[in-house]
Amino acid sequence: MSKKLALENVSKHFGSLIAVNNVSIDIEPGEFLCFLGPSGCGKTTILRMITGFEQVTSGAIVYDGKVINDVIPQKRDFGIVFQSYALFPNMTVTQNVAFGLKMRKMPKKLIDERVTEILALIGLTGWESHYPSQLSGGQQQRVALGRAIAIKPNVLLLDEPLSALDAKIRVRLRTVIKRLQEELGITMIYVTHDQEEALALSDRVVIMRDGEFMQIGSPWEIYKQPKSSFIAEFVGTSNFIPGTKKNEKIQFGQLEFAVAGIENVEEEKIYLAIRPENIEMVDVTISAEDCIPSNVVEVTAEVINFLGAIVRITFILEEEEMLVDLPEKEFEKINLKRKDLLKLYFPPEAFHVYTELFRKLI
């Protein structure tokens, strides 16, 4: 059974650079936790401190009730899968998967049984005698996964394990990883800068920026209730509307939008965020009589991008470029073309209200 792992006020400094700044979290046994954030936010440093490859500057890493700051990596009973597969090129698939078991001096019969079981789990039965050079990137990553779980670790740490693979294989391997975690019931800690991966895999997501935890929550909470404009921008896609509070509405250029929940906002300068899929198309996804008139706008379709299940339409509103997503089925019905006019409705409850605006550099 997995044991509880906790970070208590953990910081890591490299000289004057603060890579991780006073972070705390309890990771439940059997939980799938993702650290998500842009490059350089400190997520890999956290992983390396948990594994013991990096020393903690201050704070404590607690596992099963004991502080393990000074325990060497080999004694931590954690499995690790890196971005580079780090397989032994002169060893077969079987030998690579069996490596950790041999190091632990397990009887040969048990090793053989365990390797057979693992290869079935990772879908590589029949590849036992192949060498890494004879495998695809996706297969090599499966072997790396198999080697890590062969030792039955209580905690498995994965550092961007799929980022070197192409998109289709990544999606397939996500399913393999999720299934493995559920079948084995182990705690998985996963580092990624790919938001889709984090939302698809995890029970909880930790959003990081500049060495700090910005928000911790379920994928649903992170996507539906982003606590800051940075998270609304980083996870998924958002349209941002700079406005001024005026008579319980938000003035944006010539428009005055009704916005739910602004009564309690003191600041005059407001930033609204709305997801492209939450903007409705009048008479297509919502009927005109269900709309508040002040929140209906007429715009021109500037660009139409077909993205499979959805069609993304770019439009300009008060000199700001924005996006609306329409289900492909709905789009088909209306036969919309570039430069056509369309009526959009911004539901008051679909806005997120912020008093600061983070805009990433493009």
Per-residue confidence (pLDDT) for residue 360, from 0 to 100: 54
Share of the chain above pLDDT 70, in %: 98
Tell me which amino acid residue 355 is. T
In a 10 Å sphere around its CB, with 0-12 CB exposed, 13-18 middle and 19+ buried, how is residue 127 labelled?
A: middle
Mean local confidence (pLDDT), 159-182: 87
Per-residue confidence (pLDDT) for residue 290, from 0 to 100: 94
Strand partners, 242: 271
Per-residue confidence (pLDDT) for residue 163, from 0 to 100: 83
Residue 95 clears pLDDT 70, i.e. is over it? yes
Encode pLDDT of 239-248 as tens digits. Answer: 999 999 988 8
Please give the CATH architecture assigned to the domain spanning 237-354. Answer: Beta Barrel (2.40)
CB 228 within 8 A of CB 214: yes
Q: Are β-strands 32-36 and 204-209 bridged in parallel, bridged antiparallel, or unpaired?
A: parallel
Least reliable range by pLDDT among 17-21, 80-84, 151-155: 80-84
Residue 1 clears pLDDT 60, i.e. is over it? no
Residue 261 clears pLDDT 90, i.e. is over it? no
Encode pLDDT of 263-276 as tens digits. Answer: 888 888 999 999 99
Q: How far apart are the first and last CA of the chain?
A: 45
Per-residue confidence (pLDDT) for residue 324, from 0 to 100: 97
CA-to-CA distance for 317 and 353, rounded, in angstroms?
18
Per-residue confidence (pLDDT) for residue 129, from 0 to 100: 93
- Which helix (H) or strand (E) segment holds residue 48: the answer is helix 43-51
pLDDT band per the 50, 70, 90 thresholds, residue 305: very high
Q: Any residues with CB less than 8 A from the CB of 112 and at least 6 apart, and which?
A: none
- pTM of the predicted protein model: 0.89
Measured over the CA atoms of residue 195, residue 354, residue 323 and residue 350, the dihedral's sign is positive
Name the average pLDDT for the chain: 92
Mean local confidence (pLDDT), 304-319: 95
pLDDT band per the 50, 70, 90 thresholds, residue 288: very high
Per-residue confidence (pLDDT) for residue 165, from 0 to 100: 81
Mean local confidence (pLDDT), 91-95: 94
In a 10 Å sphere around its CB, with 0-12 CB exposed, 13-18 middle and 19+ buried, how is residue 274 labelled?
A: buried
**Residue length, the chain?**
362
Mean local confidence (pLDDT), 247-255: 92
Share of the chain above pLDDT 90, in %: 72
pLDDT band per the 50, 70, 90 thresholds, residue 361: very low
CATH superfamily membership of 5-230: P-loop containing nucleotide triphosphate hydrolases (3.40.50.300)
Residue 22 clears pLDDT 70, i.e. is over it? yes
Per-residue confidence (pLDDT) for residue 265, from 0 to 100: 82
Q: Hey, where are the domains in the chain? A: 5-230, 237-354
Per-residue confidence (pLDDT) for residue 362, from 0 to 100: 35
Strand partners, 314: 303, 323
Per-residue confidence (pLDDT) for residue 3, from 0 to 100: 85
Residue 124 clears pLDDT 60, i.e. is over it? yes
